[in-house]
Each structure stands twice: as C-alpha cells, then as structure tokens.
Amino acid sequence: MIGLGIGWRLAAAGCRVDVFERDIAGRGASWAAAGMLAAGVETEPGEMALHALNRSSQQLWPDFARTLESASGLPVGYRAEGTLRVALTRDDAARLRATYEFQRRGGIALEWLTGADARRREPHLAAGIAAGVFSPEDHQVDNRLVVPALIAALRRAGGRLHEHAEVDRIEIANGRAIGVRVGEDLVSADAVVLAAGAWSRDIGGLPPVVRPPVRPVKGQMLALRMDPGTPMLRHVLWTPRAYLVPRANGRLIVGASVEERGFDPSLTAGAMFALLDAAWRALPGTEELPIDEMWTGFRPGSRDDAPILGPCMVDRLVLATGHHRNGILLTPVTADAISRLVLTGESDPAIEPFGLNRFVPPRQAREMA
Ligand code: GLY
C-alpha cells in the first residue's frame, strides 16, 4: 500500500510512474494486516514522535478514503465506530489504567469505562469484564479493499503496475539513483522510491550505508465468520492478548502474534490457540463461529519500530519503508510527504524525525559527506 499510494499520488500529479512488484501487488503486509487506524490505543511509552506522525495520518484518512473511492470507483470499507479496549481481570484493569493515564497525558482522547459501560457498548462481551477504555478516534479500514482501490486509482491516473517483475537492482551512477534493473531491462528514472516492506533491505545495488535496517516481524492471524446481519461485535476490540476487528461482510479478524522468526511462513498450533483463547475470554460467543481463514504476514520492522522516510545519501533515492505495525495507518501521510519530496524536493516537517540518518553513526556520516 505504501508504494501504490505514493505511485498514485505521483501519477495523479502528472508523473510517469512505474511500480514494480515481484509477486502480486499488495499481497504482503498490506494483505495480512487488520486495517486498524489506531494512533491512540496502540501508543506506547517512548513513542510520542511516532504518535504525532500516526495522529496526522489518522486525521488524513477520512479524506484519503473518500478521494480514493472516487478516483477508483471502489469502496475501501472505512468504518468509524471507534475502538474499545477491555480488561478481563482486576490485574488487567490496573495495567489498563496505567496505560490510559499515560496516553491521556500524551493528549490522546480516551474515555474510561466500567465493565458494565463496556458491555452496554458491546453486549456480547464476557459478563466478568473488569473495565474498559473507549477510544473515539481509532477507526478501521478494510485493507483488502484498499489494495484493489489503490491499483485502480494508480492505473486510472496513468501509472503502470508491473507484477511478477522483481527489481534485481537499483542502478546508481555517480552517487545518484538513475533507475532500476528488472531482468534484462534498465528502466531509467528521475527518482527511485524504495518501498519494498520487509524485503527492503535485500534489494540489489544498494550501498551498505543506505540499506534500510528493516527486518520481517512475523504475525499470525485468523478470521472467523459472523452473521453480517447480526454481528457479534461492532467496534474494534482490544483484549489483553489479542485484537478483534469486525468487517461489514461478517469477517471477524483476530490478531496477532509478534515473532522474530525471519520469513518463516508457518502457522503454529500455539499461536492459533493463543488467539482463539484470547478472543473467547473476551467474547465467549466466538466459540460457535466458523473459522474462515488463517494466515501469516511480515511487518517491516525497523530498529526503533518507526518508519524510515525520506532522502538518503544516494541522490534521488527516496526511502519509504519500516512501517512496522502502522503501515495501513501511515499510508496517507507517507503518500503525501514522499510524493511532495519527489515532486518539489521539499521535505515535510512531519517526516523529518524519521530519516535513515538516525541509524547512521555520526563518524560514518561525516566520512560519506
Ligand atoms: N497493527 C497491528 C499489528 O501489527 O498486529
């Protein structure tokens, strides 16, 4: 979604755009994700700079969704019921209270709920829910609808998408990116944007100093099937050990493990058991629901879990990767800021803290200058 979003914006601005995808576009983390636009409840201590970026992208989402729907003629499933976070026990409630206090101090709009309040909002919650927090600004979008919408919008704007077309190397001459090599072909370009998600580090041709420090962070997930006419859940729901995301078509996404296992695509009994158990403890009715799908995905995690955005030491090579748990949320701000950078050379202050140079030791940076 990051690459398609930037490509769409650039094509809409009149550029000749070619997007290269080694497989099928949008079938990596974009497909695996749950689509939560959670700038609020996912914020952890030490992440306030990232929170500012997340928040600005969250504010862009309603307009991004409308523009994308009209540019593509396809729905994207943006839903605005907000997010509910629940504590199952008194210990969970004490931890939730501490997180709530921290997030409120950071200016995040949240509402503390008793267990009874939480059950009034979601009547299928377990009877013993100890407490809850309502986050009125954390919504969701259906990422598996956004992907085809971005592809259609890119194409309608004149951009070209090349699938099963792996970039073998980024071609660099005299310190400047001049295009990409795809098989026998050299496709020349005024600028190259690297947006290869968890695979960004492994693209050929990159000097070591600009190889983004991105690794795959495995997530296992599953989907249950609710009756869309009488859904068991309407809000995005966070329990202490899983999140649940209800879709309009009745799918109930349950996620996710967070594992350092490289590109291991296997589904494990332990992870599926943990997710089903966590879902059942909060929403006992899930016991009766059919399983629709189980899958794994690979978040592009950087060393500090924040994205890597903007220029690097190779002229005209722009990085847009490392979005970790926030790729869907950060698509609008990334598409706007990176397309502006390519078009005008201006760097949006919103992305300044997220340059690759934060990982380059000062001595090495001086030597490269
Ligand atoms: N943002 C949810 C996840 O990464 O699992």
What gap in Å lies between CA 192 and CA 170, rounded to an integer? 8
* Weakest-pLDDT range from 45-59, 214-228, 312-326: 45-59
Query: Mean of the pLDDT values across residues 330-352?
Result: 97
Is residue 364 pLDDT above 80, yes or no?
no
pLDDT for residue 43: 86
Q: What percent of the chain has pLDDT over 70?
A: 98
Look at the block and give the residue holding tokens 């929170």.
Answer: 51
Is residue 321 pLDDT above 90, yes or no?
yes
CA of 368 to the centre of ligand 1 (A): 36
pLDDT for residue 256: 97
Q: Which of 239, 243, 302 to mutate to test the pocket of ligand 1 (most atoms within 8 A of CB)?
A: 243
Task: Give per-residue pLDDT as tens, 190-227.
Answer: 999 999 999 999 999 999 999 999 999 999 999 999 99
What gap in Å lies between CA 293 and CA 146, rounded to an integer? 19
What gap in Å lies between CA 217 and CA 198, rounded to an integer? 8
Would you place residue 49 in the very low, low, confident or very high pLDDT band (cuts 50, 70, 90)?
confident
Query: Mean of the pLDDT values across residues 320-324?
Result: 97
pLDDT for residue 324: 96
State the closest ligand 1 atom to the C-alpha of 324, by its place in the atom list counted from 1: 4
Would you place residue 48 in the very low, low, confident or very high pLDDT band (cuts 50, 70, 90)?
confident
DSSP state of 330: T
| Residue 54 or 369, more confident | 54
CA of 270 to the centre of ligand 1 (A): 18
pLDDT for residue 46: 79
| Residue 39 or 363, more confident | 39
Would you place residue 365 in the very low, low, confident or very high pLDDT band (cuts 50, 70, 90)?
low
Query: Mean of the pLDDT values across residues 343-352?
Result: 95
State the closest ligand 1 atom to the C-alpha of 256, by its place in the atom list counted from 1: 5
- Strand 83-87 and strand 236-238: the pairing is parallel
What gap in Å lies between CA 114 and CA 131, rounded to an integer? 5
Q: Is 325 in the pocket of ligand 1 (CB under 6 A)?
A: yes
Cβ-based burial of 220 (10 A; exposed 0-12, middle 13-18, buried ≥19) = buried
Q: Are 297 and 28 in contact (CB under 8 A)?
A: yes
DSSP state of 262: T
Look at the block and give the residue holding tokens 């605005």.
Answer: 80
Q: Please give the distance of CA 91 from its chain centroid, rounded to a whole number.
A: 30
Q: Are 139 and 42 in contact (CB under 8 A)?
A: no
Task: Give per-residue pLDDT as tens, 143-155.
Answer: 999 999 999 999 9
Q: Is 324 in the pocket of ligand 1 (CB under 6 A)?
A: no
Q: Are 298 and 218 in contact (CB under 8 A)?
A: yes
Q: Are 221 and 254 in contact (CB under 8 A)?
A: yes
Q: Are 11 and 157 in contact (CB under 8 A)?
A: yes
**Average pLDDT score over the chain:** 96
pLDDT for residue 326: 96
DSSP state of 143: H
Long-range contacts of 75-78 (CB under 8 A, 24+ apart): 75/145, 75/149, 76/141, 76/142, 76/145, 76/146, 76/149, 77/35, 77/140, 77/141, 77/142, 77/145, 77/146, 77/247, 77/248, 78/139, 78/140, 78/141, 78/142
| Residue 234 or 364, more confident | 234
Task: Give per-residue pLDDT as tens, 91-122.
Answer: 999 999 999 999 999 899 999 999 999 999 99
Closest CA to 299 of 44, 47, 30, 29: 29
Query: Mean of the pLDDT values across residues 33-57?
Result: 91
Is residue 20 pLDDT above 90, yes or no?
yes
pLDDT for residue 366: 62
